[in-house]
């Protein structure tokens, strides 16, 4: 049994160790292009900005998939807030991550439009290129609420990330 005095000492050591070992927060911005693959491929572009600590981080992203009336492919815009977890140390110049989040989306095809809440889950890798510049490869699955034409939309992209 640990005495109250020893418990306080252990707690103090753990807190001091955590503070001393903590890395400062890092931030990055990403510009990306890719494809929304549901119901078939169409271009998507966007940006993300985030900040993280050793393992956990937060980001906001905006993306815009192009509407194609001839093929009946709706335009798809998202504004999502995400939480991500990542390996704290790069392995062979790569940092893997998983992400989950939610926010608003707008799906539009001609005169039909739906704006509602959606969620997303996905992951990817950031690959070191030079200095603070990294290549980011990402895959997401969006689950859409409301009266969306497609309840689930997949997106894949490549982007350039600049660490700040």
pLDDT tens digits along 16-35: 555 444 556 789 999 999 99
List the domain boundaries for the chain.
23-163
What backbone torsions phi and psi does residue 124 show, to the nearest 5 degrees?
Answer: 175, -160
Q: What is the pLDDT of residue 20?
A: 45
d(CA 59, CA 157): 16
Q: Evaluate whether 150 touches 141 at the Cβ level (below 8 Å).
A: no
Fold designation for 23-163: Porin (2.40.160)
Q: How confident is the model at residue 139 (pLDDT cuts 50, 70, 90)?
A: very high
Token pair 């119901």 in the structure block, residue? 39
User: Over pLDDT 70: what percentage of the chain?
Assistant: 86
Residue 39, preceding bond cis, omega within 30 degrees?
Answer: yes
pLDDT tens digits along 94-105: 999 999 999 999
Q: Strands 152-163 and 26-36, how do they pair?
A: antiparallel
């Amino acid at each position: 049994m640990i005495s109250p005095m020893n418990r306080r000492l252990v707690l103090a050591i753990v807190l001091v160790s955590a503070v001393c070992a903590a890395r400062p927060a890092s931030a990055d911005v990403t510009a990306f292009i890719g494809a929304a693959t549901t119901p078939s491929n169409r271009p998507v572009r966007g940006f993300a900005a985030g900040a993280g600590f050793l393992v956990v981080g937060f980001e906001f992203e905006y993306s815009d998939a192009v509407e194609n009336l001839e093929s009946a492919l709706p335009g798809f815009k998202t504004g999502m807030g995400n939480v991500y977890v990542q390996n704290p140390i790069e392995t062979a110049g790569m940092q893997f991550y998983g992400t989950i989040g939610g926010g608003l989306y707008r799906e539009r095809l001609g005169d039909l439009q739906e704006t509602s809440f959606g969620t997303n889950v996905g992951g990817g890798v950031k690959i070191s290129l030079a200095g603070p510049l990294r290549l980011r490869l990402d895959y997401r699955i969006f689950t859409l609420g409301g009266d969306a034409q497609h309840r689930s939309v997949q997106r894949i992209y490549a982007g350039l990330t600049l660490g700040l």
